[in-house]
Structure 1
Amino acid sequence: MLKNYFKIALRNLQRSKAYAFINVLGLALGISCAILIFVLVRYHLSFDNFHSNSDRIYRVLTEFHNETVSKESGVPAPLGKAIRNDFGFAEKTARVVAYGDQLISIPGSKDNKKFEEENGVAYAEPDFFDILNFPLLEGDKKTVLTEPNSAIITQKIAEKYFGKTNAIGQVIRINNETNYKITGILEDLPVNTDRKQEIYLPWENLKDENPWLAKDDSWMGVYSGSNCFVLLKKGITQAMVEKALPAISKKYYPPKDAAGWQFKLQPFSDIHFNAELGGYIEKKNLWALSFIGIFLIVTACVNFVNLATAQALSRSKEIGVRKVLGSLKSQLFWQFICETALITFFALLIGLILSYLALPYVNELFKAHLAISLISDLTLILFLTGLVITVTFFSGSYPGLILAGFQPILALKGKISQKSAGGFTLRRGLVVTQFAISQILIIGTIVIANQMRFSQKSDLGFNKDAMVMIPLPVTDLSKMSTLKSRITELPGVKSGTFCFAAPAASSNNTTGLRYAARAEDEQFGINMKSADDQYIKTFGLKLVAGRNIMPSDTLREFVVNEMLVKKLKLQSVDEIIGKQISINGNTQKARVVGVVKDFYNYSFRSNIEPVCIMANYKGYRNYAVNINMANMKPTLTAIEKIWNDTYPEYVFKSAFLDDKIAEFYELDRIMLQLIQFFAGTAIFIGCLGLYGLVSFMAAQKTKEIGVRKVLGASIGNIVWMFGKEFVRLLLIAFAIAAPLAWWVMNGWLQDFKYREEIGAGIFLLAIGATLLIAALTVGYRSISAALMDPVKSLKSE
């Protein structure tokens, strides 16, 4: 029986090729998008879920209670030791400090091998590898990282540095300073982990990188790369630990600071998804993608139902004959389900091919490692099986019931009405649903694009164009002076400045401050910008009061921004000139000599913060150069040569500032590209359905069109006969989509402190674009029908 169902189904599809093509293509596009979204969402949900006891692993974070409560994933370096010594709730506790962009060299190698490791190195306590599951392939786990100047590296790094030679016992050098002997080889890190460091060094050697951070009394500072992980004992809850942690603040901080420094636990499973604490992607974005995938499948299924019910009239006599010959209603229903299953199967095959073709682009876009395997991936196989079953029954059930319910006498007489075949009311509702989904995606695309354009085009308060950031490997005054004098002599260089970072940067130093003779520190922090006297000129900052700092290598004067004046509640910017401010726990003091106009010192997701610009050569990490873009290539080549002459033992790299600022919105850019693609797919699927419906209507109204033309109807009249119905439906869809899209996208915009508001123009553009696309789709087919010779139309049966 089943074989017969499929044989008849195949014959019906061969007889209705256009109908089959539209349905297969629509479903294939929807299934392809669903597959890509499934593997992408699953990939991100899998991050760091391979660790044993992951439900008991937590990262300790710092909460700063000032004017507002802010969180930082880093903690004071001594915290881990305090937790281990003062409490008994943790089975294991481990501190780890990570540094990115480290130079690794191989002492004694023939070709003086040097490697710039973007993921850098990590100084870790041995228990780190008891808490997290990064298996050791070679070496003694009991002694790993207990010996000073030892190191463990991954297989990948071992092959990169030493080829096929055994890496155990080999020596690597970090930043041309300290040698480390390799005592262990780690299994390569899984792709789905946020711990990217592949070189681990003993905690004891942290003093070589940062003596202050390595001390047991460095409680008053937090470096974002300084983490503490705990494996809680069984039966111990997060709430129990967080109730005990305030005791640390009371014990290790002065009474006036204890309330401001608080510590909390972050579940390990939350790290990848917590954007506030450096997570890659929030779960709400994954759920949004999941809903888009569901919407696209629904849109494709709506096409199927629409076309199937519209085509029901043409199959009425077939159904009548089958019923007269004894076919049961259930047999007719399953016959149509088999046809739907066959279409869905072909759509699945094409969808898989499209997914395979698109996968490299998705991986490149997300810098991910997604894979589609129908051989070993049981989860994907189950997903596809469930998808095919769902699509088959969702698409086929209603049309199958409609067809199976025809009265045989009426069917054989050709008196089945549109109402009996599902009616226009159902199809209207389906078209409205389909285009409401499309318009929500279109409005979302426009809103995100507007915000991205706002971020790119807005005046940031400083010059970001033609600015090249060149990292300084060491803060050697003699070499820095040589570098500066040679680069500024280049004809393509306008100006340059030594600084910690650009005015807006992902890396920032924030500290407390005290103003003038006030008895207490302020309840807010200040962002320190270590920079020389050329900083204001090079970045085009605007002085609104006072003057620039004088040339100096050390702190003598401050230039602050307007926001500090506002936070201090001063009457005017002139009032702060000449006043002393103290920072870093009152260890650094100087007078304010100037005030600059506010500039954005973070992304548009954050408020403008108080800033102080000060000379401090030990804090310089970059040389920023403003170049003439007309001579960009020769200038960059000359800068690289000068840099290599100055620092021959290091590896040169540079970056344009506007590219670095664009990284603030990298995930937004990715989401925009995805939604653009999915919106385009939804519109295309909807247009396929519209084309099919108009084609069917044209076939049904062949004689009517002929009569109208004979009676003098113009082509425009006939085209409008087809179009007016769909214009009405699209406007209804827009009325449903607009408030829903506004609600969703207004919520998304709340993440931005500075944003482009949703105006009426966005909605007008969305409905205009939808109507134009629909008009082109409907117009093409309806014009073809209108141009048909009325003599032939009237002769048609």
Structure 2
Amino acid sequence: LGSMNVTHDYHNWQKFDGKYIFVFSLLAVFVLLIAAINFMNLSTARSSSRSKEVGVRKSVGAHRLQLARQFLGESVILAFIALAVAVLLAEVALPLLNTISRRSLELNLFSDPALLPGMIGFTFLLGLVAGIYPALFLSSFQAVEVLKDKTPASGRKVMLRNVLVVAQFAIAIALIVGTALTVQQFRFMKDRNPGFQRDQIVLLKMNGTSNNKYDLLKEEFLRNPAVLAVTASGQRLGNNIHQNSARTRGDSAEIRLSPSHLHVKRNFIEFYGLEIVAGRAFSDEIPTDKRFAYIVNEALVKDLGWDDPIGKQFGVSWEDTLGTVIGVVKDFNFNSLHHKIQPLYISSQDWGYDEMSVKISPQNYAAALGHLEKVWNEHVPDRPFQYIFLDEHFETLYLADRQVSQIVGVIAGLAIFTACLGLFGLAAITTEQRTKEIGIRKVLGASLLNLITLLAKNFVRLVLLAFLIAAPVGYFIMQNWLQNFVYRIAIDWWVFLFAGGIALVIALATVSTHALKAALANPVEALRYE
């Protein structure tokens, strides 16, 4: 696969984290494990259909080792056929993956000298692992018994088959739980109130001309009633806010620190609806607010241990004169929710600004945008009119998270589908092996419901056992995963019932198809030769 950036860029737009690549690899291993379990289960379940072949081969001199090699060879050949199909499916599915991940991945088997040999070696190993138990089991049949139509029953074989069914459904249930909680967590992060208003706010990138003409642009923008308010700032909320060196004077000495810094117009606090919990906001009527006034957040107050921050001396480290803290703003998430709230100070010096924020009416946003573009092109001819909505910007902050939840959902769905395919085949073979028993029971008066219950109850028990294993394991894994997030959901009990319910319904639907077919069959056909 093509290289994938697994870091974060300057603007804090979350890209694929390296740990997600590990998670995807682990999920792929789970899918392979379920597929291998299916192969072992189905191979041993249909052993009766190959028992006579084993008997004939042994009667003409074949040794157990020769038969085991034959069955292992068949398993390896099937694995390589699966590899070829997988490469074709990967080529077909790659455009969908690129659409979800918004990347340009490509499958090039010769891009890395170790890739193709690695795939071949892994496929060979997978074929051996998946085929070793069926090979040993089938080659253990005694020629005399199988040629007399006495396929040896093995309690250990049935026990192992049940263990494998439980294992694959435990994995499937855990994946359902993981997918549900992943979607919940990322939706929670996207929808959580960051502590400021972000709807219907248009952001315009500024240059020297627009800075020089800010007051004129603001006045012209506000002439349209669809434009509600205008402000400007040196940084965009949600981006990687700069950390600046600052200082304050304590009781006995000067204290230096490096909090995050927002450089804003004086109406920024009111524009974004930030809550002042002590002191006041900036004011155009007070001349000192233009340079020597600062507003700090609660995190900075806590960090410095201030009981009464209003009036405290505070300033940037490169200026000789310290200013004054005039207000405290309630903590808000000025970065994305991937990060905890850091100490922050806000200043309003007229140093020049990077971005204008324009609040527009939701009823007339098209007219408002048209007016903004017209005014901008008239007064700022040296910079094209470019805008983005702030809520769209925040969507990009959680884009990678949404991609991860979608990919996890696809992989989990594939795992569940694979488990159901195995259960479907196993149910078909089990039902076929009990055809005569079903015929006798029907002759003796068993009802349709009795027969369906008879055939389905064992699988239901296995799924319930899988749920009892998957629930605590899934809880432990997801609880640890959620610790990676500063703001996280609580794990609700209904998620586990939801996952177990889905697995149970799917298992019942899968098994009942064969059970119903067998129960409706004419018992005469099953008992004709008895």
- What TM-score, normalized by structure 2, do the two folds share? 0.90
Separation in 2, partners of 1:611, 1:380: 48
With over 3 angstroms needed to count, the CA separation of the structure-2 counterparts of 1:312 and 1:377, relative to structure 1, is: same
> Which runs of 5 or more structure 1 residues have no equivalent in the other structure?
1-38, 45-193, 195-271
Aligned letter for 2:30?
F
| Aligned pair partner of 1:577 in 295, 305, 310 | 310
**Map 1:151-230 → 2, pairs under 5 A:** none
2:399 is the alignment partner of 1:399: no
Q: Does 1:320 align with 2:55?
A: yes
User: 3-state SS of the aligned residue for 1:373?
Assistant: coil
Aligned length: 526
Q: Does 1:790 align with 2:491?
A: no
Provide the aligned C-alpha RMSD in A.
Answer: 2.9
SS at match of 1:454: helix
Deviations 1:566-591 (A, max 9, x none): 333344xxx33344322334546433
Paired with 1:554 and 1:738, the residues of 2 have a C-alpha distance of 59
SS at 1:501's partner residue? coil
Structure with larger RCO (C-alpha < 8 A, sep 6+): 2
SS in 1 for 2:228: strand
Counterpart code for 2:35: A
**d(CA) in 1 for partners of 2:364, 2:524:** 71
Q: Is the 8 A contact 1:530 1:619 kept in 2?
A: no
In structure 2, the CA distance between the partners of 1:402 and 1:491, relative to structure 1 (3 Å rule), is: same
Name 1:483's counterpart in structure 2.
Answer: 217
User: How far apart in 2 are the matches of 1:277 and 1:630?
Assistant: 31
Name the CA distance, whole Å, in 1 between partners of 2:364 and 2:304: 45
Match of 2:277 in 1: 544
Partner Cα separation in structure 2 for residue 275 and residue 758 of structure 1:
31
- The aligned amino acid for 2:387 is S
**Which residue pairs with 2:107 in the alignment?**
372
Q: Shift in Å at residue 498 of structure 1?
A: 0.7
> Equivalent of 1:613, from 318, 341, 346?
346
Match 2:29 to one of 261, 276, 294: 294
Matched with 2:326 is 593
Deviation at 1:510, TM superposition (A): 3.4
Structure 2 SS opposite 1:716: helix
State the shift of 1:678 in Å: 0.8
Residue 703 of structure 1 deviates from its aligned partner by 2.0
8 Å CA contact retained: 1:510, 1:527: yes
Equivalent of residue 554 in structure 1, options 260, 275, 290: 290
Output the amino acid matched with 1:470.
L
- Deviation of 1:376 (Å): 6.2
In the alignment, the residues of structure 1 paired with residue 346 and residue 399 of structure 2 have an alpha-carbon distance, to the nearest angstrom, of 28
Q: Which amino acid aligns with 1:449?
A: V
> Which residue type is aligned with residue 435 of structure 2?
T
Tell me, yes or no, if the aligned pair for 1:275 and 1:281 is still in contact at 8 Å.
Answer: no
Q: 1:504 aligns with which of 215, 223, 238?
A: 238
How far has the Cα of 1:517 moved from its partner?
Answer: 6.0
State the match for 2:299 in structure 1. 563
- Distance (whole Å) between structure 1 residues aligned to residue 128 and residue 134 of structure 2: 10
Aligned-residue offset at 1:340 = 2.5
Q: 1:762 is matched with which residue: 492, 495, 498?
A: 495
Equivalent residue runs for 1:63-212 within 5 Å: none
Alignment-derived partner of residue 433 in structure 1: 167
CA contact (8 A) 1:496 1:538 kept: yes
In structure 2, relative to structure 1, the CA distance for the partners of 1:791 and 1:608 (3 Å cut) is: same
What's 1:471 paired with? 205
C-alpha change, 1:617 and 1:793, in structure 2 (3 Å) is farther
Instruction: Measure how far apart 1:615 and its partner are.
Output: 1.4
What is the rounded CA distance, in whole Å, between the counterparts of 1:481 and 1:275 in structure 2? 33
Residue 78 of structure 2 corresponds to: 343
1:316 and 1:606, CA in 2 relative to 1: closer, same or farther beyond 3 A? Answer: same
Q: CA deviation at 1:275?
A: 9.6
Distance 1:664 1:372 in 2: 28
- Is 1:691–2:427 an aligned residue pair? no
Q: CA–CA distance in 1 between the matches of 2:32 and 2:225?
A: 59
Task: Report the alpha carbon displacement of residue 469 of structure 1 after superposing the two structures with TM.
Answer: 1.7
Equivalent residue for 1:661?
Answer: 394
The structure-2 alpha-carbon separation of the partners of 1:476 and 1:624, relative to structure 1 and needing over 3 Å to count, comes to closer
3-state SS of 1:655 partner = strand
Q: 1:16 maps to which residue?
A: none
Q: Deviations over 1:667-713 (max 9, x none)?
A: 33222222111111100000000000111111111122223333343
Whole-angstrom distance in 2 between the partners of 1:610 and 1:668: 26
Q: Matched residues in 2 for 1:718 and 1:468: separation?
A: 66
Bigger helix share: 2
- Counterpart amino acid of 1:314? S
Counterparts of 1:525 and 1:644, CA distance in 2: 39
State the 1:369 CA deviation: 4.1
**Per-residue deviation at 1:329?**
2.2
Secondary structure in 1 aligned to 2:105?
coil
Give the alignment partner of residue 424 of structure 1, picking from 141, 152, 158.
158
Contact kept, 8 Å, 2:188 with 2:489, in 1: the verdict is yes
Confirm or deny: 8 A CA contact 1:557 1:591 kept in the other structure: yes
Percent of residue pairs identical? 36
| Separation in structure 1 between the aligned mates of residue 172 and residue 154 of structure 2, nearest angstrom | 27
Q: 1:631 to 1:588 in 2, by over 3 A?
A: farther
TM-score, normalised on structure 1?
Answer: 0.61
For 1:617, the aligned partner's letter is D
Which residue does 1:701 correspond to in 2? 434
Q: 1:644 aligns with which of 377, 393, 415?
A: 377
Q: Distance in 1 between matches of 2:303 and 2:87?
A: 57
* Distance change >3 Å, CA 314–CA 531, structure 1 → 2: same
Deviation at 1:433, TM superposition (A): 1.9
- The CA deviation string for residues 319-378 of structure 1, in whole angstroms up to 9 with x for no partner, is 212222333323322332343234333322321111001223333444544332346654
Alpha-carbon distance between aligned partners in 2 of 1:630 and 1:785, rounded to the nearest angstrom: 63
Distance, in Å, in 2 between the alignment partners of 1:684 and 1:332 is: 32
Distance change (3 Å), C-alpha of 1:515 and 1:779: farther
One-letter amino acid of the counterpart of residue 27, structure 2? I
Letter in 2 for 1:622: E
How many Å separate the matches in 1 of 2:137 and 2:101? 45
In 1, are the aligned partners of 2:173 and 2:503 still within 8 Å (CA)? yes
Gap runs ≥5 in structure 2: none
User: Would you say the 8 A contact 2:278–2:329 is kept in 1?
Assistant: yes
Query: Which AA in structure 2 matches 1:360?
Result: P
Paired amino acid for 2:420:
C
